[in-house]
Structure 1
Amino acid sequence: MSNISLFYKFTGIIILLFTLKACGDADQSETAIPTVTTGIQDDGCLPEAMIGRLVIEEAMTGPLKRSLNLPGNIEVNKDRVYRVMPTAGGIITDVHVRTGDRVNRGQVLATVQSPDIAAFKRDIRAAKAEKNMAEQNLNLARSMFESGVYSRRDLLKAESDLEKIISEIDRLREEQKVLGIEEGQTAYTIRAPQSGFIVERNINPGTAMNPDNGHAFKISDLRDVWVIANVSETDIGNIRIGDTVSIQTLAFQDKTFEGIIVRMSNTIDPNRRTMEAIVELPNPDFFLKPGMFANIDLNASENEIYTSIPSRALIFDNNEYFVVVYEDPCNVEIRKVEIKRRNGERTYLTSGVEAGESVISNRHILVYNQLIANQ
């Protein structure tokens, strides 16, 4: 076969292929592209294609619930904090504990070199000298009374003088015990008034202290702690004293702690716009440390029964709330609702929707706008 014949055959095949492709394109261009109607039909019904894309949920009745998730932090129970004060002025010579240390009642926390100790000891020595003199005077008074020189009144006065001095010495010895002054020393010790943990230390060796300067230490037993929950201004109405809450921390994410709200602040933080709610939490194993961050969950039910709908079904328009109530494709209407409380995913209503009715909770704004347009 000649090259010319092969050329004509090859050219014919190419022309045939282009012809077939052109016919195929023509057929495709004549095929109708299906369309989906998303608007309300002329008869007022929702098209089937649109209904398939809607989420329709039923309104339910149940107890009014309060659910909150609040940030917070662990603090010492301020009702169980002991402030350790210096009992006399002086210079701190030794501090035997650090913040976080566990201490026992009576344990020495610090030593104070005090000029007041010298004056105190002078008072004791003077009182003892007066006691010796009073004892001698009493012995003399008894002798003179027996010989008839002193009257009974003189004898009673000598006895009274001795009793007063003995009482003063007893007072000084009790003060010596309170101050922690030992015989022969010119310093006194600060001791723990209660077992617990040192949660604050305000002194170091060389610090000049006196009772007017404030406390040297704070001690808390940490067997129970406070969780300070920060309640936003909009959530204050959803929290009550006595509510039980669940608490989790970053340090112990696998543990959940249960506590009770024992008090609430009566003031608002002007910067954060939050109010403090205090949860009292048992801490027998000392897992919880002051300063930890906490996550507080509140879930409480009240005795009142209300109809509730999914919160996402609400439509806010012109400062009012509406929902789209669905009965069937041809019975869809807009209703205004009155809200009792919004609680996360559920909203409780006082009017507008009855239990058992259904509302559209997805693409409901599209339906709402079309119903408004058709009015």
Structure 2
Amino acid sequence: MEGRQKVYLGCGIAAFAVVVGALALNSDDAEGAANEARRAADLPVPRQVNLASDMPADLASPIAAPGLDAARPTDCLIEPSQVVKVNSGVEGVIQAIYVDRGDVVRRGQVVAQLRSDVDRAGAAAAQAKANNSYSVRAAETRAAYLEAVRRRSEQIGQYLAADKVEEAQSNARAAREERQALAEDQRVAQLEYVQSQRILAEKTVRSPVSGIVTERVMSPGEYRGPDASHIVTVAQVDPLFVEVFAPISELDAVHVGDPVKIIPEAPVGGEYTAKIKVIDRVFDAASGTFGMRLELPNPDYSLPAGLRCSIELASTKTGDGRKM
């Protein structure tokens, strides 16, 4: 019985505190009194919520541009100028792959080889057929002889039967057409040989750019079919592209071709000079920024890609991208 009285008393005090708080919503003293009443009744005191501090950081901050922090509009991102998924233009079984992840490759370097035994045999047959000129020469000789017979028959036609002259003329025409057909067959054989050489060239996979191998998808012995997207991935890191999202207020201060100081994040550090290549004409209203693309020379591959960095707009041109 005594416990129920305590419960009733606590509920009454809590109700009284809520009424007092509702009557004096904007009064700090009333709120303090309500909290004291809750403590007296052993009820939890509501925690003060600060929307600015309690909200998650990704929601409290402005909408960030892709890959960067909109709260730090001078941030930038160093990326490869190209990322190429190297593949073969024909299907086949991979015989060998000559590079692996992390290797440096040059443009035109062989990175993989598909089996080509059957194609080499077909190319040899096509070459032999294309170089076979005996049938063409024999047809030319026969056509020349029958043409001479035709002319001679027409000259002495008055002494020959009409059907003999017509036969000579018909044989000469047939010989000319046979010679043309054999010449055309030889030309087709030459084209087939060129086609077989192109197929053989496709079996040899070369890198279209100079850069660094970042991924090796397939291995020797696997079949490169129509569903295979690529064999290796090569990232071109000379030059590098620097993606920047700058405040819209800086739009009038930058122009294509201007030098910009690039400061990579630790532990790389240092200062480099890049040039503005592209200024976006479509802005990001949510973050109040606009995008720029800078070109940063990297001939010795000393600067890695995938780094965050910061920028400083330079007032004068300071060189060709070497460390300042």
Indicate the TM-score class for this superposition, using the shorter chain for normalisation: 0.5 to 0.7
1:102 CA displacement: 0.8
Deviation string for 1:191-232 (max 9, x for gaps)?
A: 234443224544445655346754434445533211111224
CA separation of 1:199/1:232 partners in 2, compared to 1, >3 Å: closer, same or farther? farther
Instruction: Count the aligned residue pairs.
Output: 219
* Residue equivalent to 1:350: none
* Residue equivalent to 1:341: none
Residues 104, 195 of structure 1: 8 Å contact kept? yes
For residues 145 and 242 of structure 1, the distance between their equivalents in structure 2, rounded to whole angstroms, comes to 70
Matched, 1:226 2:224: no
Matched, 1:157 2:180: yes
1:69 CA displacement: 6.5
CA separation of 1:270/1:260 partners in 2, compared to 1, >3 Å: closer, same or farther? same
Write the mapping of 1:66-215 to structure 2, written as runs, cut at 5 A: 70-78=74-82, 84-113=86-115, 118=118, 120=119, 124=123, 127=126, 131=130, 135=133, 137-148=135-146, 149-151=171-173, 153-154=176-177, 156-179=179-202, 188-205=203-220, 208-210=223-225, 213-215=228-230
Q: Which is higher, the Rg of structure 1 or of structure 2?
A: 1
1:259 CA displacement: 1.5
Query: Per residue, is there more helix in 1 or in 2?
Result: 2
* TM-score normalised by length of structure 1: 0.48
* TM-score normalised by length of structure 2: 0.54
Q: Which amino acid counterpart does residue 74 of structure 2 have in structure 1? A: L
* Residue equivalent to 2:268: 252
1:257 CA displacement: 0.7
Secondary structure, counterpart of 1:98 in structure 2? coil
1:175 CA displacement: 0.7
| Alignment gaps of 5+ in structure 2 | 1-71, 147-170, 317-324
Deviation string for 1:341-360 (max 9, x for gaps)?
A: xxxxxxxxxxxxxxxxxxxx
Deviation string for 1:100-142 (max 9, x for gaps)?
A: 311234433123347xx74x4575466457558x745424423
CA separation of 1:204/1:124 partners in 2, compared to 1, >3 Å: closer, same or farther? closer
1:263 CA displacement: 0.6
Secondary structure, counterpart of 1:223 in structure 2? strand
CA separation of 1:198/1:154 partners in 2, compared to 1, >3 Å: closer, same or farther? same
For residues 107 and 295 of structure 1, the distance between their equivalents in structure 2, rounded to whole angstroms, comes to 35
Secondary structure, counterpart of 1:260 in structure 2? strand
1:71 CA displacement: 0.7
Equivalent residue in structure 2 for 1:240, among 243, 255, 262: 255
CA separation of 1:211/1:107 partners in 2, compared to 1, >3 Å: closer, same or farther? farther
Equivalent residue in structure 1 for 2:312, among 276, 297, 312: 297
1:244 CA displacement: 1.9
1:75 CA displacement: 0.9
Residues 87, 211 of structure 1: 8 Å contact kept? no
Q: Which amino acid counterpart does residue 70 of structure 1 have in structure 2? A: T
Residues 108, 206 of structure 2: 8 Å contact kept? yes
For residues 270 and 207 of structure 1, the distance between their equivalents in structure 2, rounded to whole angstroms, comes to 49
For residues 141 and 209 of structure 1, the distance between their equivalents in structure 2, rounded to whole angstroms, comes to 45
For residues 195 and 146 of structure 1, the distance between their equivalents in structure 2, rounded to whole angstroms, comes to 58
CA separation of 1:83/1:209 partners in 2, compared to 1, >3 Å: closer, same or farther? same
Secondary structure, counterpart of 1:161 in structure 2? helix
Q: Which amino acid counterpart does residue 108 of structure 1 have in structure 2? A: V
Q: Which amino acid counterpart does residue 307 of structure 2 have in structure 1? A: M
* Residue equivalent to 1:264: 279
Identity of aligned residues (%): 24
For residues 283 and 218 of structure 2, the distance between their equivalents in structure 1, rounded to whole angstroms, comes to 34
1:297 CA displacement: 1.0
CA separation of 1:94/1:177 partners in 2, compared to 1, >3 Å: closer, same or farther? closer
CA-based RMSD of the aligned residues comes to 3.7
